[in-house]
Structure 1
Amino acid sequence: MDSTELKRRTKQFAVDVIRFTEGLPSNRSLNVLVNQILRSSSSIGANYRSACRGKSTADFINKIVIVEEEADECAYWLELMDESGLVKLDLINTLKKEANELTAIFTAIGKTAKQNQRNIKSGNSK
């Protein structure tokens, strides 16, 4: 998956979360969770775009770590919505799956970038 496709995918995830949350009822607990997931889901794509424009490898890695954290945070908010019984929609399972996949993708990207940086520093670059 190239950066263009990943940018599209992260934006689509944010759009899907926005649409999902617009259909939810309003109550004190759910409003807190909705605010959190709206922030973290939109942050994934924004921070990934920023990482792609990183000024250095270290800058890229720092931003990718933030993207990974935000994706994992989305999974957490969705789990809370589901496990608290506040939301009982099949769509939540699709969103949880995508949040977990994005977390795995960005974890792998971060690990690869860190390893490449270590290899360059130690003179083992290919």
Structure 2
Amino acid sequence: MKNSRNRTDSLLHAKSYVFALRIIRMTKFLRENKQEFILSKQILRSGTAIGALVRESEFAQSRPDFINKLSVALKEANETDYWLNLLKDSDYIANNSFDSIDSDCGELIALLISSIKTVKNNMNAG
């Protein structure tokens, strides 16, 4: 999966990319097997936006811009967590599927929070 255009050397890049692929596959399942189109559209948008924003942050114009991009990615991850819970509680996805993907979403949230804190601390120290 590693190539010059897909930064898998960064844990956040790699995990957000793999998470986006999982979201795409889940959306496909929801549409084809459950005939669910509304919630799946929402989670597809927010779940894939995380990685896109992380990727965008690579070329941020400044540290505050970098923090902003990661902060928006964090908001998208939080929204994705909401849609995942809604899909589980409405019985569109099984508990075991939810547990696995929700764990990944939680890990992304933690990585984003940590990255934002690190950059803020470095800005305050320098």
Instruction: Name which of 8, 12, 15 aligns with 2:21.
Output: 15
Distance 1:97 1:4 in 2: 19
Q: Which residue of 2 aligns with 1:66?
A: 72
Question: Matches of 2:54 and 2:65 in 1, distance apart?
Answer: 12
Normalising by structure 1, we get a TM-score of: 0.83
Deviation digits for residues 63-95 of structure 1 (CA, Å, limit 9, x no counterpart): 110111111111111011111223225222111
1:36-115 superposed matches below 5 A: 36-88=42-94, 90-115=96-121
Q: Indicate the residue corresponding to 1:26 in structure 2.
A: 35
Equivalenced residues, count: 116
State how far apart, in whole Å, the 2-side matches of 1:35 and 1:93 are: 20
Percentage identity across paired residues of the two chains: 33
Displacement after TM superposition at 1:3 (Å): 5.4
Residue type matched to 2:35 in 1?
Answer: S
Tell me, in whole angstroms, the C-alpha distance in 1 between the residues paired with 2:76 and 2:9.
18
Distance in 1 (alpha carbons) for counterparts of 2:86 and 2:64: 33
Q: 1: CA distance between counterparts of 2:116 and 2:12?
A: 14
Please tell me whether Structure 1 or Structure 2 has the larger radius of gyration of its CA atoms: 1
Letter in structure 2 aligned against 1:117? M
TM-score by length of 2: 0.83
RMSD of aligned alpha carbons = 1.6
- Please state how far the C-alpha of 1:14 moved relative to its aligned partner: 0.7
Q: Which sections of structure 1, spanning at least 5 residues, go unmatched?
A: 121-126
CA distance in 1 between counterparts of 2:104 and 2:80 reads: 10
